[in-house]
Amino acid sequence: MRFIEEFRDPHRARVLLARIEQLAAQLPRRRPLQLMEVCGGHTHAIFRYGIEQLLPRNIELVHGPGCPVCVLPMGRVDDCVALAEHPNVIFTTFGDAMRVPGSRKSLLQARADGADVRMVYSPEDALKIARDNPAREVVFFALGFETTMPSTALTVLRALEEGIDNFSVFCNHITIIPTIKAILDSPDIRLDGFLGPGHVSMVIGSAPYEFICHHYRKPLVIAGFEPLDILHSIYLLLCQLVEGRCEVENQYRRVVAAGGNDAALQAVARVFELREFFEWRGLGSIDHSGVRLRGEFAHFDAERRFSVPNLKIADPKSCQCGEVLKGAIKPWQCKVFGSACTPKTPLGSLMVSSEGACAAVHSYGRLDLIRARELREESA
């Protein structure tokens, strides 16, 4: 399939759904089969196309912590605001991070209060601002999984090559493998399989997921982001479960190579090293789940050049982002969803980011179908 229409072909979708129905009928279970889509892009597509409502009732999709903005703890947002309010600093960030609430304010509110906060589309944009403003300190808010890590690494290397000394990175890059392991080790979560993240896998390849099958006996299928990609991946997962297999499969072969992207991995390995631990919203501290700049690049590390509060701040009690991130509850089951917490007035990060599960549910307005399905299941 080469064209976008073919990835959204209704006839092929109906064929896949019929096959999924047949396989699901062969899996008698006391509880629904739980499949976690790790990537926020998958969550967005699932709600946009109403895929969850099309599945058999004994298949439940669990929305994982694959949106980097959503898993950012409130204390790190406060650190961003502190850096942005530092005299002589131009703070640069991707747009979806500007509205995430901190304990005092968001970056957008900091800008309204006078801080020089600028939206950029890439770390290279931030480096250009540094070139154009040699008398100012330019800090880039580096955020994301292995998907965006290479671009930050290459920008740091370029800054070093060009001798730009007024550019630094506030590093919040995180890694996917320790996160999946932490989820699998959680006693509260009982998953049966994974839709593997397509974008991260484009960088790291498929081999790093092998431990999920070998140690935890859970299948994983790396999935693309179109509706037929997701349905096909669910079908492949069910085939494995019915046949008693447990493997890593790559449905997204048109983008993801088995060995990943060697040039990107080399840049990441040169610039970054693992932190001993990193704090995640909803998941707590996870060992070796974040990275920082290596010592030889300390000059470009904003945490070493500036003073930041680095405090742990608990989420508001009314906000249940953490439980949604762990799959313990669905977005619409949060007690402030759609009332105190909306895209215009977000209390939690899951309502801010376009890849956040709460924002996706709210945006695509399928709550009536979701609740109707829940009522049918309760009465069955």
Say whether 194 sits in a helix, a strand or coil: strand
C-alpha of 251 from chain center: 19
Task: Tell me what the mean pLDDT of segment 169-180 comes to.
Answer: 94
Q: What are φ and ψ of residue 361, in 5° steps?
A: -65, -45
Say whether 221 sits in a helix, a strand or coil: strand
**Residue 280 DSSP symbol:** E
How far from 373 is each of 29, 297, 318, 368, CA to CA, in Å?
Answer: 19, 53, 26, 9
pLDDT exceeds 70 at position 367 = no
Position 163 scores a pLDDT of 97
Task: Please provide the average confidence, as pLDDT, over all residues in the chain.
Answer: 90
Taking only the tens place, the pLDDT of each residue in 278-304 is 988 877 888 999 999 999 999 999 999
CB neighbours of residue 371 within 10 Å: 11
Under the banding of pLDDT at 50, 70 and 90, the label for residue 374 is low
Position 373 scores a pLDDT of 58
Contact 302, 169 (CB under 8 A): yes
Instruction: Name the percent of the chain lying above pLDDT 90.
Output: 62
Output the six-digit token pair for 329: 């509850």
Residues 6+ apart with CB under 8 A from 288: 175, 178, 274, 275, 276, 277
Q: How far apart are CA 48 and CA 290, in angstroms?
A: 30
Q: Where are the beta strands (DSSP E) in the chain?
A: 33-37, 59-63, 89-93, 116-119, 137-144, 167-173, 193-196, 220-222, 248-250, 272-274, 277-280, 284-287, 291-293
Return the higher-pLDDT residue of 107 and 47. 107
Q: How far apart are CA 50 and CA 35, in angstroms?
A: 16
How far from 127 is each of 90, 137, 145, 283, 300, CA to CA, in Å?
Answer: 11, 11, 20, 33, 11
Return the higher-pLDDT residue of 66 and 252. 252
Q: How far apart are CA 211 and CA 218, in angstroms?
A: 9
Q: How far apart are CA 278 and CA 176, in angstroms?
A: 12
Task: Tell me what the mean pLDDT of segment 311-334 comes to.
Answer: 79
Taking only the tens place, the pLDDT of each residue in 87-141 is 999 999 999 899 888 989 999 999 999 999 999 999 999 999 999 999 999 999 9
* pTM score: 0.87
pLDDT exceeds 60 at position 1 = no
Contact 230, 237 (CB under 8 A): no
Contact 152, 140 (CB under 8 A): yes
Give start and end residues of each alpha helix (H) in 245-380: 262-271, 302-305, 321-325, 357-364, 367-379
Q: What is the DSSP string of 80-94?
A: HHHHHTSTTEEEEE-
Position 258 scores a pLDDT of 93
Return the higher-pLDDT residue of 121 and 68. 121
Q: How far apart are CA 134 and CA 124, in angstroms?
A: 16
Taking alpha carbons only, the member of 100, 160, 184, 146 closest to residue 291 is 146
pLDDT exceeds 70 at position 369 = no
C-alpha of 331 from chain center: 16
Contact 292, 272 (CB under 8 A): yes
How far from 356 is each of 75, 81, 216, 219, 306, CA to CA, in Å?
Answer: 19, 22, 27, 24, 31
Position 2 scores a pLDDT of 59
Position 339 scores a pLDDT of 84
Q: How far apart are CA 133 and CA 92, in angstroms?
A: 13
Q: How far apart are CA 138 and CA 134, in angstroms?
A: 9
How far from 231 is each of 61, 148, 224, 308, 353, CA to CA, in Å?
Answer: 12, 26, 10, 45, 24
